[in-house]
Every structure is written in structure tokens, then in C-alpha cells.
Structure 1
């Protein structure tokens, strides 16, 4: 049987913060784009506006989620233990709205920077988030909240 102290210390074991993962892949993608000198072409003008919109949307959702974490008195940091589940706001339509928002910002920056090579790096970014971060978090949340989280998983999709 797990002692209460041991259970409190149980975490998702995500050692690299997800924003760092996203930033590293974005930086590599932008650097590759710079050296390869690729561009979106004629469509680039309107893509800049789409990119700005995606960035704004992403940051607004992240801010909204941060407020919900504060209201629920639980940590937004993925390497710490959760005290409460959040099922309202963006968490009502995505189990991972912050990671979804990070991907929106990633794609938005790729568009505004006219960087199709950077956009290609959204694929390994998604894979790193899905299989390194989200897989660990889901296993942790199943341990931490049990049937409550399983019920939430059955109602709300992983991404959208």
C-alpha cells in the first residue's frame, strides 16, 4: 500500500518543461528555414495574418487555463503533483488545451515568419508532446484520480 506521503509526491515525471520542448523544436525549425531559405510563396501575405490570429488565440487559451488552475488551487507545472482536476472552460473540450495552444502558437509563428521548414517541425513537436509529456501525464492522472479521470477521458477528447 502506498503511504499518503508517497502518493503526494507522485508526479507525471515530466522532466523537460513542455514550453522548452516546443521552443527548441521551433528554434531548430526556424534555423533550418533560415539556412534553407524556404518561403511559402505568394500565399505568404495572408498567412501572416492567420499566423497572428493563431498566436493570439493560443496565448488567450493559455491565459484562460492559467486562471482556471489558479482558481482550482492546483499547479500548472507538469512536474508537480495535482490537487484537483479541472473540467471547465477549455478543459471541457480538450484534455490538453495548453499543449493544443502551444501548437497553435508554433504554427502561428511559422506562418508569420514565412517559414515552411519550421512548420514541418510541428510534427516532431506534436510527437514529443504526445508520447513524452501527455502519455506520462495521463498515466499519472489515472493513478491520482482513478475513476474520475477515466470518466473525464471518456467524455473529452485528447486534443479537440
Structure 2
């Protein structure tokens, strides 16, 4: 299973889960539902996700560290301020919000099953390997950070 760790860019993973939810919605039309104002709700949730993710990217760039999680050895700085004071993984929270928005847009009860699958995949194959690296590189500082800030929200 470790062969999947840090191999796929998170944006590509998001697209895989978006397509999967769409295919599920197409395959199970009996589970469609009507959500009043779904367009507005989905757009607001997606915009919040986009902003959250961009704030994370901006914080990394300001700190002069890599935004590519597939190469954690290029991490130069432990970023703990700004949006990283709210979540240890703001870009992934942003992706999760975008996926939630998409599922709301689809209005299909079965398509939402991709949401917990996304969280499980990201925890196992993205976040935990990143955390192992960060722990090894930043030691006690990273431990303190993990005690103060949650993984997701």
C-alpha cells in the first residue's frame, strides 16, 4: 500500500473523486434530490474552499517552501501561521470543500459517499506520509504544532 503514498498530485486526486461522484450520480438517478438554491450554496462552499486552499498556497510561497506535497524533502520551513493556525492541511480542506460543493451541485444522495472516501484516501496516502516527514525534519516543533492545530479543521 505504501506504493500509493505521495504519488498522485492532490489536484489530480480531487479530479478523480469529482469524476467518480459524477459517474455515481449518473448510475443512481433514483437517489437524486432537490436542494433549494443549490447553485448558490454550491458556489459559496466552492468559493470558501478555493479561498482556503489559496491562503495555504500563499502562506507556503511567502515562507519560501514547496507547495508540491509529493516531494516533502524540499520543505524548508514549518508554516504555522495564518490559515495554518486553523488547519494543518488547508489546501486539502479547500479540496474537500470543493468536492462537497460538487456533490451538492449534483443533488444525488449516493454521490456523497465519495466524500468520506476522499478523506480516508487523503489521510492514508497523503497526510500521514507528509506528517512522518515533518516529524522527522522538525521534531519537537512539529509535535507542538500537531497538539495545537487539528489535521483538517
Fold match (TM-score > 0.5)? yes
In structure 2, stretches of 5+ residues that fail to align are: none
Paired residues in the alignment total: 146
Shift of 1:22: 2.0
2:78 and 2:45 map into 1 onto residues whose CA distance is: 27
Q: Helix, strand or coil for the counterpart of 2:36?
A: helix
2:150 and 2:20 map into 1 onto residues whose CA distance is: 30
Residue from 125, 128, 137 that aligns with 2:118: 125
1:45 and 1:112 map into 2 onto residues whose CA distance is: 11
Query: Any residues of structure 2 matched to 1:81-160 within 5 Å, and which?
Result: 81-160=74-153
Answer yes or no: is the 8 Å Cα contact 2:42–2:101 preserved in 1: yes
1:84-131 deviations in whole A, cap 9, x for unaligned?
A: 111111100111111111110000011122233221111111100011
- TM normalised by structure 2 equals 0.89
Shift of 1:26: 1.9
In structure 1, stretches of 5+ residues that fail to align are: 1-12
Root-mean-square deviation over aligned CA pairs: 1.3
Q: Larger Rg: 1 or 2?
A: 1
Q: Give runs of ≥4 in structure 1 deviating > 6 Å.
A: none
Query: Any residues of structure 2 matched to 1:17-32 within 5 Å, and which?
Result: 17-32=9-24
- TM normalised by structure 1 equals 0.86
2:10 is the alignment partner of 1:14: no
2:97 is the alignment partner of 1:70: no
Answer yes or no: is the 8 Å Cα contact 1:26–1:118 preserved in 2: no
1:114 and 1:132 map into 2 onto residues whose CA distance is: 29
2:70 and 2:56 map into 1 onto residues whose CA distance is: 17
